[in-house]
Amino acid sequence: MPTPSTRPTRKAVIPVAGMGTRFLPATKAVPKELLPVVDRPALQYIVEEAARAGLGEVLMVTGRNKAAIEDFFDRQPEIEAALEKKGDAARLAAVHASTEVAQVHFVRQGEARGLGHAVLQAAAFVGDEPFAVLLGDDIIDARDHLLEQMLQVQAEHGGSVVALLDVGRENIDKYGAVAVEPAGGPSDDGAVVAVTGLVEKPPVDEAPSSLAIIGRYVLAPEVFDVLRETAPGRGGEIQLTDALATLVERGEPVHGVVFSGRRYDTGDRLDYLKAVVQLASEREDLGPGFRTWLAEFVADLPAAGASEA
């Protein structure tokens, strides 16, 4: 029998129970995870990322008003039949790809008691093996292999691994912040660090560093027992960051991978707009036409604060 730390990671958990208040009124009827980023829901990018990393079993932790997410990952025979009849092979393939990308399961959170509580709902699905958690606000460019690198670090060091980004001190109070020291080890190219402390959304002057946790984790199953005993923290919610801090205090390995690739934040409206523009201009099909239009549009744009002629 392999020990838990040498078991391969096969499963991914995606919490999708958030209310999406920053995108109201759009999110009154459409879950924020289904808002289109170019022509696909943000959530599809996340599931594709998990599948690319070899995690073909995905659990979504949902809440009320999220039924459309289940529909999205289900077959749509009427749409498929209509496309078949029209001979629209490209769109038919796109519809199939969204369903077949991974085996998607669902569990309801019931009460929204925080990210740690959402992750705890995955305990039965995950069992006694390491698993990944992907948060939907960050899209990682398909050409960067952050999750794969995190899985490699987990296989090498055991324990848990978080994705880190230097967001600058002035922004650290929006994130889980970490204290780190150099890690060493065969796959260490300077991007891998040992995490020595974590704090959820600290005031800027109390942050241990400017390194923030971005929405990717590979977690040891021991985190579930810790989460069961984690009291509500920042915002009155059960925080995953607090559970990881407990693991560190107990001497369990927690590592960080400092990401330096392309990340598209879809978390608030301005970042979402930027993500759509960046991803659209990179697309092979839409990109050339979009970039030409965008360059002309930007050239004609009055500078911020300038009054219209």
Least Å from the CB of residue 264 to ligand G1P: 13
Least Å from the CB of residue 288 to ligand G1P: 32
Regarding beta strands 103-108 and 57-62, do their DSSP bridges make them parallel or antiparallel, or are they unpaired? parallel
Phi and psi angles of residue 131, each rounded to the nearest 5 degrees, phi first? -145, 160
| Site for ligand G1P contains 33 (CB under 6 A) | no
| Site for ligand G1P contains 176 (CB under 6 A) | yes
| From candidates 241, 255, 256, 264, binder to ligand G1P by CB under 6 A | 241
Q: CA-CA distance, 179 to 194, in Å (whole number)?
A: 9
Stretch that binds ligand G1P, among 1-9, 60-68, 140-148, 235-243 (CB under 6 A): 235-243
| Site for ligand G1P contains 214 (CB under 6 A) | yes
Beta carbons within 10 angstroms of residue 89's beta carbon? 10
Q: CA-CA distance, 146 to 50, in Å (whole number)?
A: 11
| Site for ligand G1P contains 213 (CB under 6 A) | yes
Q: Which is nearer to ligand G1P, 101 or 240 (CB)?
A: 240
Structure tokens at 59: 């659990």
Residue 182: cis peptide before it, omega within 30 degrees of 0? no
| Site for ligand G1P contains 212 (CB under 6 A) | yes
Q: Which is nearer to ligand G1P, 83 or 254 (CB)?
A: 254
Q: List, in order, residues 6 or more apart from 301 with CB less than 8 Å away.
A: none
Least Å from the CB of residue 115 to ligand G1P: 5
| Site for ligand G1P contains 49 (CB under 6 A) | no
Q: Which of 167, 158, 161 is nearest to 138 (CA)?
A: 167
Structure tokens at 48: 């594709």
Least Å from the CB of residue 241 to ligand G1P: 5
Least Å from the CB of residue 18 to ligand G1P: 7
Q: List, in order, residues 6 or more apart from 211 with CB less than 8 Å away.
A: 164, 165, 166, 167, 177, 178, 180, 193, 256, 258
| Site for ligand G1P contains 175 (CB under 6 A) | yes
Stretch that binds ligand G1P, among 67-75, 146-154, 203-211, 238-246 (CB under 6 A): 238-246
Give, for 161, the enclosing helix (H) or strand (E): strand 160-166
Least Å from the CB of residue 254 to ligand G1P: 13
Residue written as tokens 């707009």? 273
DSSP character at residue 28: G
What is the total count of residues that contact ligand G1P (CB under 6 A)? Answer: 13
| Site for ligand G1P contains 135 (CB under 6 A) | yes
Residues that bind ligand G1P in the complex, under the rule CB under 6 A:
115, 135, 137, 175-176, 200, 212-215, 239-241
